Amino acid sequence: MNFIETRGNDGQRPASITFAQAILSPMSSFGGIYSPESLPVFDAGFIKSHIDSDYKTVAKSILALFDVDIDEAVIDEALNLYDKFDDPKNPVPVVKVYDDLYVSELYHGPTRAFKDMALQPFGSVLSAIAEQRDEKYLILAATSGDTGPAALETFKNRKNVQVACLYPDGGTSDVQRLQMVTEDAPNLKVIGIHGDFDDAQSALKMLLTSPAFEASLKEHKISLSAANSVNFGRIIFQTIYHVYSYLELVRQGAIELGDEVYLNVPSGNFGNALGGYYAYKMGLPVKQIHIASNNNNVLTKFITTGEYDLRGASVIPTTSPAMDILKSSNIERILFDLFGAERTKELMLQLDNDKFYKLTAAELAEVQSIFAADFCTDEEGLNYIKQAFSVGYLMCPHTATCFKAYDTCRKDKSIKTIAYATAEWTKFSPIVSYALTGEKVEKDIDALKMIADKAQVAMPVQIAELFDKPISQATVIDKTDIEKEILGFLS
């Protein structure tokens, strides 16, 4: 499979590239990113043939459909990392909450968030390619809280790669911050910045397209890549669990093979939802994809009005901070797939220059045939956490936003919904404990103990041990100093 550029070709780059090339160098002409030239399609028997398949078998079959130019041994080694999840036989449990609502739990990996599903194998594949080519890479990551820990975890101590991870100081949960600042592998650099996630992501994209920064890296004989979902190496692994979750509903007898489902995705940078969109385009029986936002409801406004409007907007801190994002990178791949490179370039340059674009009525109708959206306020999220707990389900505030979209976006209530739990309750324990008890607890460790006692669940060892680890990454800087800080790390 080949990959082409979302904003067209500038004549300086190849017209198309392979999967390996796309994950090593994810940015393309005119500030765009890479997308598949075409998507594979499930034949009539593909989903049926995997009714009894485990996760790794499903994953390997889907990667084979994409025809990635990666050695089979490298793929096998990458997929074997799922054996380190809570249940190697079932790394993505799908749990019934209501008769027509099932939650696909994507957080059972080492950092207790859904980013492990993609970044664990992605890191293994990228570092293997770099080693095979005898090349060294700097991997940039910008995080709103979950990408950072997952990227650092997958790349730590790997050969031929160094990682610089940017996070908004004060914009993550305490557990997320501790997961990053306690990492001590010599090939990792964690940098807090004064600003929000959009500032961090903008800095990452600027560095990825900066000739001066690239020239500085060449002096160190280092090439540049990224761990954010601008990199299709992330997206391909995020497509797999949508297919697996559907299979789980069939196995549980919730649906018959061929029945349509709703996918309900809490969305910040839109990579998770894009994976669901690609699974739908490949042939997964999906009626519609429901996008759940928080008070930073740019995506809800886009899907309901066709307007992407950042004029005068600033990030609103919420109880679901990993979704406190205004500029969702992967909307670009949706625009490209639906409307082509020329229109995508026009719209994205309008957003870059004017902080605004608007779809035509026909374009909006096409988007709305696939997506619906709503947003969940902090107060509503607290109530959803409490309601779910009353029927025996414990969830994080990001997952709670899905319950609002579940209430408001379904047109056909006979169709089952698969919602996606993107983080474990442990990542945001003060918010969860407040929802359950009405008591405000300042320290994460106290909230964790309170919830564990109330819910009669054990605190995962990966979380408990964080509070005894020394801080080894204390850097916090202005965003104007990011390039200097990274170059100093490489030296």
Say yes or no to pLDDT of 44 above 90: no
491: pLDDT confidence band, cut at 50, 70 and 90?
confident
pLDDT digits 0-9 by tens, 297-322 = 999 999 999 999 999 999 999 999 99
pLDDT digits 0-9 by tens, 15-31 = 999 999 999 999 999 99
Say yes or no to pLDDT of 430 above 90: yes
Beta pairing partners, 418:
102, 263
Average pLDDT of 429-458?
95
pLDDT digits 0-9 by tens, 69-113 = 999 999 999 999 999 999 999 999 999 999 999 999 999 999 999
366 inside domain:
yes
pLDDT at site 93 = 98
228 inside domain:
no
Beta pairing partners, 374:
292
348: pLDDT confidence band, cut at 50, 70 and 90?
very high
Class of residue 383 by CB neighbours under 10 A (exposed 0-12, middle 13-18, buried 19+):
middle
Specify the long-range contacts of residues 11-19, CB closer than 8 Å, at least 24 apart.
Answer: 18/69, 19/66, 19/68, 19/69, 19/70, 19/232, 19/233, 19/236
Say yes or no to pLDDT of 36 above 90: yes
Give the pair of three-digit tokens for residue 170.
């004060």
**Within 13 Å, how many C-alpha atoms sit on residue 275's CB side?**
30
457: pLDDT confidence band, cut at 50, 70 and 90?
very high
Task: Give the number of other Cβ atoms within 10 Å of residue 186's Cβ.
Answer: 8
pLDDT at site 66 = 96
Radius of gyration (C-alpha) of the chain in whole angstroms: 21
Give the 3-state secondary structure of residue 342. Answer: helix
Residue 449 DSSP code:
H
pLDDT at site 137 = 97
60: pLDDT confidence band, cut at 50, 70 and 90?
very high
DSSP3 helix / strand / coil % (the chain, rounded to 5): 50, 15, 35
CA distance 321 to 145: 8
212 inside domain:
no
Say yes or no to pLDDT of 161 above 90: yes
Average pLDDT of 358-371?
98
485: pLDDT confidence band, cut at 50, 70 and 90?
very high
CA distance 452 to 425: 10
Residue 173 DSSP code:
-
CA distance 320 to 118: 21
CA distance 89 to 27: 36
pLDDT digits 0-9 by tens, 162-189 = 999 999 999 999 999 999 999 999 999 9
124 inside domain:
no
Beta pairing partners, 154:
none
pLDDT at site 428 = 95
324: pLDDT confidence band, cut at 50, 70 and 90?
very high
Of all residues in the chain, the percent with pLDDT exceeding 70 is 100
CA distance 413 to 411: 6
**Within 13 Å, how many C-alpha atoms sit on residue 260's CB side?**
13
Q: Per DSSP, which regions of 150-221 are E strands? A: 161-168, 188-193
Say yes or no to pLDDT of 381 above 90: yes
Give the 3-state secondary structure of residue 188. Answer: strand
223 inside domain:
no
411: pLDDT confidence band, cut at 50, 70 and 90?
very high
Task: Give the number of other Cβ atoms within 10 Å of residue 231's Cβ.
Answer: 29
Range(s) of the domain holding residue 380? 83-112+233-466
Average pLDDT of 147-154?
95
CA distance 226 to 119: 11
Say yes or no to pLDDT of 442 above 90: no
pLDDT, mean over the chain: 96
Determine the Cα angle at 454 with ends 450 and 460, to 5°: 65
Average pLDDT of 378-385?
98
Contacts of 72 (CB under 8 A, 6+ apart): none
Gap between the terminal Cα atoms of the chain: 37
195 inside domain:
no
Contacts of 193 (CB under 8 A, 6+ apart): 166, 167, 168, 169, 199, 200, 203, 476, 477, 478, 479, 482
194 inside domain:
no
CA distance 293 to 405: 9
Average pLDDT of 451-465?
95
165 inside domain:
no
Q: Under a CB-based contact definition with an 8 Å cutoff, are residues 296 and 324 in contact? A: yes
Q: In the chain, how many domains are there?
A: 1
Q: Pick the residue with more confidence: 88 or 442?
A: 88
| pTM for this prediction | 0.95
CATH number at residue 327: 3.40.50.1100
Average pLDDT of 213-229?
94
Give the pair of three-digit tokens for residue 240.
């797999």
Q: Which of 301, 363, 358 lies closest to 334 in space, CA to CA?
A: 363
Q: Per DSSP, which regions of 146-204 are E strands? A: 161-168, 188-193
Determine the Cα angle at 93 with ends 90 and 99, to 5°: 145
Average pLDDT of 139-152?
94
pLDDT at site 301 = 98
